[in-house]
């Protein structure tokens, strides 16, 4: 992987974290990931310049966010996490009506970094369910609150 120093950041690693009562993801009619208890649904997009250090920092941030009941974090209560890759989080809509996906990393870069995010969460103690990278997925969630947080690594520079 690349070093953590950025020059001309070409798209951030970006996640949307939603507090959910339950969530699931299906591929071809089969459930591939499911939360049957309150936890966090994480949609993750990877940019060209993102690194394993970014994934590790995001994992720590997600696991420690105090957005559950009574200002608890997932780490405080052992809440499960469902991580789903979503390159569309990096869409640029600056020109015209058709989004550009040029800031999103190709699958060969994105897939290992989404998996690294999951592995880092597991190393911190999380039970992590996953979507399937690159698949057409149906995501269902019962949002709680709703509480939804956008975390963008470019804001950390």
> C-alpha distances in angstroms, 115 versus 143, 146, 155?
24, 27, 22
Looking up tokens 């520079």 gives 157
Strands 137-152 and 39-45: unpaired
Rounded Cα–Cα distance for residues 106 and 47 (Å): 8
Segment 29-84, tens digit of pLDDT: 999 999 999 999 999 999 998 999 999 999 999 999 999 999 999 999 999 999 99
Look at residue 2 in the predicted model and tell me its pLDDT: 37
pLDDT of residue 11: 60
94-145 pLDDT tens trace: 888 988 888 889 999 999 999 999 999 999 999 999 999 999 999 999 999 9
Q: How many CB atoms lie within 10 A of CB 155?
A: 9
Does 8 score more than 60 pLDDT?
no
Point out the residues that are catalytic: 86-88
Spatial separation of the C-alpha atoms in residues 139 and 47, rounded to whole Å: 22
Does residue 85 surpass a pLDDT of 50? yes
| pLDDT for the residue 154 | 79
Task: Please give the domain boundaries of the chain with CATH numbers for all domains.
Answer: 14-92+99-156 (3.50.80.10)
Q: 81 with 42: CB under 8 angstroms?
A: yes
pTM for this entry: 0.90
What DSSP letter does each residue of 16-37 carry, written as one string? EEEEEEEEEEEETTEEEEEE-S
């Amino acid at each position: 992987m690349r070093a953590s120093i950025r020059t001309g950041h070409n798209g951030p690693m970006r996640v949307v974290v939603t507090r959910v009562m339950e969530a699931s993801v299906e591929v071809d009619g089969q459930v591939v990931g499911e939360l049957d208890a309150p936890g966090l649904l994480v949609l993750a997009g990877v940019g060209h310049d993102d690194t394993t250090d970014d994934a590790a920092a995001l994992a720590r941030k997600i696991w420690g966010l105090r957005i559950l009941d009574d200002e608890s974090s997932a780490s405080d209560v052992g809440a499960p996490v469902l991580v789903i890759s979503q390159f569309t989080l990096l869409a640029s809509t600056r020109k015209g009506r058709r989004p550009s996906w040029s800031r999103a990393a190709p699958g060969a870069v994105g897939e290992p970094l989404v998996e690294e995010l999951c592995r880092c969460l597991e190393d911190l103690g999380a039970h992590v369910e996953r979507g399937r990278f690159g698949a057409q997925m149906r995501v269902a969630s019962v949002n709680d609150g709703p509480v939804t947080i956008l975390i963008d690594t470019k804001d950390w520079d």
